[in-house]
Every structure is written in C-alpha cells, then in structure tokens.
C-alpha cells in the first residue's frame, strides 16, 4: 500500500509535467507574437512575397513607355540572414543589362521599431520611406522621409504593397516628377510559374 501511495504522485507528475511544459511553451510563443512590433509584423508579411513575379503595369497619367498593361518583372529576395528584403524591378521586354535599361533596386529593412525602405532609383537618387500598416495587416504603406542625391529628374515619393494572397499582390508607386507633378504606377503582380 505504501508503494502505491508513492507511485500515484510519481505517475501524476510524469503526466502533468510534460503537459505544463507544453502549456508554458505555447504561452511563451503567444507572448513573443504579442511582443512583435507592427514594423516586425509588416516585415514578416512582406517577406512572404519572396520569389519572382510578373506585373501588369498601368500609369496615371498614362505614359507611352509603360503603356496600359505593359509587363514588368519583379523579384523579391530575403537576404542578410532575414534582415533585409531586396526588391528588383525590370522591364520584361528589355535586355538584362541594368546599365542600359531601367532596373531599380529597393531594400526593405527594420531599423529599431521602424520598417524602412530605401529605393535605389534609376534617376540617380536614394529616397527613404517609413512604413505604416493597415488595420488588417495586408497593406503596408511607405511615406517619404528624405532623399539623398539629385532630384533634378524627380524621385520616388510613396509606395504601397497590398497582399491579396500568396500568389497575388499589388504595388502602387508614386514618382514625383520635376515641378512636383506626381506620376502613379500600379503593378498587379502574379507569382511567376
């Protein structure tokens, strides 16, 4: 009988300890999710877009070089141990020579509790923008902070990424032309097969 008195608590402990450890691990996981900043959540969402994309492009005002429904290629790649997202854009019909054809590169990265974007523009400048997230977490909007380099030919002013699903997202870019005239480009992107 004495051995039964000691065996029951030992059995209960062997069953309850793994359950409580599991509950603690789940609680810790929930806490780490709660502790993520909006910037981190937005960055994690954008990193799910890693891959190659084909975009249908429209502009406002219309531009003959881009034309309604022109096709562009976009590549998004997570790099630097997950600390940066590289966004590269090129014209689908143009050659793959970034010294002769438009080929802007954009870097997205966390800076403390801010998600920043630096756009390395074909106009020869580098505007920076800071993100703000929509209430549903599907849209990340980037507002202009500053620009390095000449703005003689204009500069990128604003960007919006909207995730529709894993194989579809949109990007809206606003370029401030000389004389502060905005030109908006809408990219409807489908994941390349």
pLDDT value for 22: 52
Residues 141 and 85 in one domain: yes
Instruction: In whole angstroms, give the CA distance from residue 112 to residue 82.
Output: 15
Average pLDDT over residues 158-178: 97
Q: What is the DSSP string of 100-131?
A: TS---EEEEEEETTEEEEEEE-TTS-EEEEEE
Residues 24 and 67 in one domain: no
Q: Kindly state the helix (H) or strand (E) to which residue 189 belongs, with its residue range.
A: strand 181-191
Residues 101 and 63 in one domain: yes
- Higher pLDDT, residue 142 or 92: 142
How many residues comprise the chain?
Answer: 193
pTM to 2 decimals?
0.79
Residues 84 and 113 in one domain: yes
Res. 106: pLDDT tops 90? yes
Domain range spanning residue 30? 1-35
Instruction: In whole angstroms, give the CA distance from residue 149 to residue 158.
Output: 17
* pLDDT averaged over every residue in the chain: 85
- Higher pLDDT, residue 48 or 65: 48
Q: How confident is the model at residue 103 (pLDDT cuts 50, 70, 90)?
A: confident
Instruction: In whole angstroms, give the CA distance from residue 14 to residue 7.
Output: 10
Average pLDDT over residues 63-73: 76
Residues 67 and 25 in one domain: no
pLDDT value for 13: 44
User: Which CATH number characterizes residue 150's domain?
Assistant: 2.40.128.20
Residues 85 and 152 in one domain: yes
Q: Kindly state the helix (H) or strand (E) to which residue 38 belongs, with its residue range.
A: helix 38-47
């Amino acid at each position: 009988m004495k051995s039964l008195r000691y065996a029951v608590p030992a059995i209960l402990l062997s069953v309850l300890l793994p359950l409580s450890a599991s509950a603690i691990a789940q609680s810790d996981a929930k806490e780490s999710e709660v502790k993520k900043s909006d910037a981190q959540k937005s960055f994690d969402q954008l990193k799910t877009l890693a891959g190659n994309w084909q975009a249908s492009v429209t502009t406002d005002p219309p531009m003959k070089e881009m034309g309604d429904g022109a096709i562009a290629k976009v590549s998004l790649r997570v790099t630097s141990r997950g600390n940066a997202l590289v966004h590269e854009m090129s014209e689908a019909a143009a050659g793959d020579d970034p010294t002769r054809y438009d080929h802007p590169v954009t870097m997205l990265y966390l800076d403390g509790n801010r998600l920043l974007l630096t756009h390395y523009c074909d106009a020869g400048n580098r505007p920076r923008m800071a993100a703000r997230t929509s209430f549903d977490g599907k849209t990340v909007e980037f507002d202009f902070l500053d620009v390095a380099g000449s703005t003689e030919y204009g500069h990128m002013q604003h960007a919006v990424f909207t995730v529709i699903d894993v194989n579809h997202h949109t990007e809206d870019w606003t370029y401030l032309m000389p004389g502060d005239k905005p030109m908006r480009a809408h990219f409807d992107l489908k994941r390349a097969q």
